[in-house]
Amino acid sequence: MRAAEVVTASVLMLLGGVVLFDAMRLGFGWGPDGPRSGFFPFWLALIMVLCCAVILVQAVLHGAGQSFVSRERLAPVLTVLWPAVAAVALMHFVGLYVASALYMGFYMRWVGRHSWVAVFALGIGVPVVTFLIFEKWFLVPMPKGPLEHWLGY
């Protein structure tokens, strides 16, 4: 845990530093009509940097403790994460519905080892139902790709 604590606190301190830098650019003092734009971020960032510094010291003094995440525990987290990232990237090209169908199908087959029947039924069924709910009934548009255009939407 200690490494993760130290890294997180350091990253937050760094971000606080960036905010302080921007606040100084904007001016954090008293302007002609009240506090300047940088006033609120400046004080927020300053307190955050101080808090993170204390957390950092606490973490270093506290000792190692258990590890943040073990290698075999991290694997399932990544198997959720990277297909999700891939699916979102895919949405830019083929739209949300097709990307969801591929993502659901892939995950069910690859992780769950479900039968192809189930994979096709749910992989196609879920996007079709969401399509009906969002586009048809509630008129909330989702990102669409070539397939939807070909179907006339």
Partner 1 sequence: MGLENLALGFQIAITPFNLFIAVVGILLGTIIGVLPGLGGANGVAILLPLTFTMPPTSAIILLTSIYWGALFGGAITSILFNIPGEPWSVATTFDGYPLARQGQGGQALTAAFTSSFIGAFFSIVLITFFAPLLAEIALKFGPPEFFAIQLLTFSSFVGLGGGNPLKSLVSILIGFILATVGLDIVTGQLRLTFGVTDLMKGFDFIIAVIGLFGIGEILLSVEEGLTFRGGKTGMNLRVVLDTWKVLPRYWRTFVRGSFIGFWMGFKPGGATPASFMSYAFAKRFSKNADRFGKGELEGVVAPETAAHAAGVAAMLPMLTLGIPGSPTAAVMLGGLIIWGLQPGPLLFKENPDFVWGLIASMYTGNVIGVLMVLAFVPFFAAILRIPFAILTPLIVVVCAIGSYAVHNSMIDIWYMLIFGVIGYVFKKLDYPIAPLVLALVLGDLAENALRQSLIMSQGSLAIFFTRPISAAITAAAIFFFVLPVITPWWRRLRGLPVTAPARPEA
Residue among 30 and 153 whose Cβ is closer to partner 1: 30
Across 71-118, the runs of DSSP E, i.e. the strands, are none
* SS3 state of residue 35: strand
Across the chain, the runs of DSSP E, i.e. the strands, are 30-31, 34-35
Q: Closest separation between CB of residue 64 and partner 1, Å?
A: 14
Residue among 4 and 147 whose Cβ is closer to partner 1: 4
Binding footprint of partner 1 on the chain (CB under 8 A): 1, 4-5, 8, 12, 15, 18-19, 22, 26, 30-31, 33-41, 44-45, 47-48, 51-52, 54-55, 58, 68-69, 73-74, 76-77, 79-81, 83-85, 87-88, 91-92, 96, 100, 103-104, 107-108, 111-114, 118, 122, 126, 130, 133-134, 138-143
Q: Closest separation between CB of residue 151 and partner 1, Å?
A: 19
Residue among 112 and 150 whose Cβ is closer to partner 1: 112
d(CA 50, CA 99): 44
Q: Closest separation between CB of residue 95 and partner 1, Å?
A: 11
d(CA 80, CA 146): 27
C-alpha distances in Å from residue 104, one per residue of 66, 75, 86, 87: 34, 19, 12, 9
Token pair belonging to 114: 């479900």
Q: Closest separation between CB of residue 152 and partner 1, Å?
A: 20
Residue among 60 and 74 whose Cβ is closer to partner 1: 74
User: In this structure, how many other beta carbons lie within 10 angstroms of the beta carbon of residue 113?
Assistant: 8
